[in-house]
Structure 1
Amino acid sequence: MSDTIIVNGDQLQFDPMFGNRQVTPVGPAIISGSGLASINQQKMCILGDEKKVQVPAQYQIPGYSPGMGLLTIAALGGDQQAPRCTNGVALLLKGQQFIARFTPTQPAISASNGPDVPAPSMGKGRFIPKQSFASAG
């Protein structure tokens, strides 16, 4: 079954909860494409482009002051890359959900518990394509 191809500038939507952290992006949540082909003058996203995503975000934990960190894509879902491509590099597809990682850079602080542990926490996200006519798979 085919799905919508992800292109340069497509938006990312992250679920707000990463374990006990409520995460809100504060920068543009977009992906940059580096494929050779394009759709509507936007380069297609290829396997590996997801590893370059870094979205600044603020996070909150009840009882703590807000902290800051980075959202990244930890792993694509099995339905988010085209299985066959003639150029040897898979195209990224909308699919269902990817696994996201939130890594604190400025930990939240509690007066009674001190700083939040800087360990990453996992969540989910999805691609929001801006085009709907080109698909692959």
Structure 2
Amino acid sequence: MLEISDTLHLPDDEIELNAIRAQGAGGQNVNKVSSAVHLRFDIRASSLPDFYKERLLALRDQRIGGEGVVVIKAQRYRTREQNRADALERLVALIRSVAGAEKTRRPTRPTRGSKQRRLEGKARRGAIKAGRGRVDY
């Protein structure tokens, strides 16, 4: 069981973990040992509440594919166990990121000082332009 919050848990059978060979530098260890972890989690087929599913599917995240499958590749550490824990932590963080309620935007109004500065600037610019007229003697 993967614990998302006090009331929300994910069964282990909904998360698919595969060991793969890591990419990049590392020499013989990287070339021989499958220490990286490839995590797949199908949002639509999961037991998450509909609220979470809708918000996860609406996210513009490169880890979420078009079919609603989250793919996380963890290869930061040398051992498979550490990479597995890292991948699961990143999945939990992704799910928790959509859990909070979005704050409603309260429109702000310009302050009296900013209005005054704007009008003074306009008057100054107008005076400069008025001074460009024809000079009569």
Q: Does the TM-score normalized on the shorter chain lie above 0.5?
A: no
Structure with greater Cα Rg: 2
Could you tell me the TM-score, scaled by structure 1's length?
Answer: 0.30
- Structure having the higher helix fraction is 2
The alignment's TM-score, normalised by the length of structure 2, stands at 0.30
Higher relative contact order (CA 8 A, sep 6+): 1
